[in-house]
Amino acid sequence: MKPELPIALTAVPPSGWHVWWTATRPRTLSIAATPVLVGSALALGEGAAANWLAMLAALCCAVLIQVGTNLHNDAADFLRGTDRADRIGPLRVTAAGWASPAAVRRAAAISFALALLLGTYLVLIGGWPILVAGIASLVAGWSYSGGRHPISHTPLGELFVLVFFGLVAVAGSHWLQSGAGSAQAWLAGIVVGMPAAAVLLVNNYRDQEDDLRSGRRTLAALLGREKSRRVYAALMLLPYAVLPLLALQGLTGALLGLLALPFSLSLIRRLQRTPPGPQLNLLLAGSAQAGFALGVLLSIGFVL
């Protein structure tokens, strides 16, 4: 059997928009969209009048922040020497030579700038809580790969994802529609944020050896294979333990999210059986899909 070559060595450089579409890491963009859907659906289910324009702006803003974070990470990791052309993860356009670091950083800046522009409109609607959440999200997006001590090189990456792609995004989206805080929004943020954090854990689990060689001390690198698999299982299963808590507070439709449980269980089993290598890229995409499925079911349950 012919050995599988790293993605970056087998890919043919494309032209035009496909380079930038690849750079955005489209398989994981649902991580940014899901909390906006869930937070907005929760507010509508509680009786808030729908502000569809604010919802669309929030959705675009969240995706732009993630795209900016992904682009900045692409260029920054290449410049630090932690991303090489022979990496086993999904292709990075800077490391593959498809785009220059300067061009990728400019694209990241444009994404952040567009998010800031949309955020100005959202602040006019939601006031100072949205201002605080927006600034914190932009700073966190840059800090994930930027500065002398980037978050992506520490064990705090999964916590970063849980906070900003779960708690902050769900609560902020709920606030935009309702103008009020909600304990249920924070619980829903946990449900959404944990599978999103699991996606990053799989990413770092796959890259464990390379990260250790390059000096990155991610959570997966510190825990090792066996403990990382246990943490992944916890991140994928604990959200389903929160659903009954939402149901007990009158949101019985939240139990619809339990339909996604078999998908999560199958991914946990797959991680147990899958050896380290490029094949984990499919499990990473599957984890993002499982989180999105859970979020969509939760949103439907809230509205119904």
pLDDT in tens, the chain (304 residues): 333 334 444 456 666 778 889 889 888 899 999 999 999 999 999 999 999 999 999 999 999 999 999 999 888 888 877 666 556 667 788 888 888 999 999 999 999 999 999 999 999 999 999 999 999 998 988 888 887 888 988 999 999 999 999 999 999 999 999 999 999 999 999 999 999 999 999 999 998 888 788 778 999 999 999 999 999 999 999 999 999 999 999 999 999 999 999 999 999 999 999 988 888 989 999 999 999 999 999 999 999 8
Q: What is the CATH number of the domain that holds 228?
A: 1.10.600
Residue 9 lies in a domain: no
Contact predicate 295/192, CB 8 Å: yes
* 10 lies in some domain: no
CA dihedral 233, 235, 238, 239 (to 10 degrees): -130
Domain interval for residue 54: 16-303
Q: What is the pTM of this model?
A: 0.90
Q: Is residue 33 part of a domain?
A: yes
Nearest partner of 164 among 188, 141, 182, judged by Cα: 141
In a domain, 89, yes or no: yes
Q: How far apart are CA 154 and CA 119, in angstroms?
A: 28
Residue 1 lies in a domain: no
The two three-digit tokens of residue 88, written as one number: 């086993």
C-alpha distance from residue 120 to each of 41, 171, 262 (Å) = 23, 18, 41
What pLDDT is stored for residue 233 in this prediction?
Answer: 98
Handedness of CA 245, 248, 252, 256 (dihedral sign): positive
Measured in whole angstroms, the distance separating CA 235 from the mean position of its chain's CA atoms is: 13
Residue 11 lies in a domain: no
Residue 277 lies in a domain: yes
Say how far apart CA 288 and CA 34 lie, in whole Å.
10
3-state SS of 159-182 is HHHHHHHHHHHHHHHHHHHHCCCC
- 231: which residues sit within 8 A by CB, 6+ positions away? 158, 201, 219, 223
Q: Is 115 helix (H, G, I), strand (E, B) or coil?
A: helix
The C-alpha atoms of residue 172 and residue 228 are separated, in whole angstroms, by 30
Contact, 41 vs 303, CB < 8 A? yes
Q: What is the dihedral of CA 2, 270, 190, 41, to 10 degrees?
A: 90
- 109 phi and psi angles, rounded to 5 deg: -65, -40
- 294 in Cβ contact with 239 (< 8 Å): yes
Domain count, the chain: 1
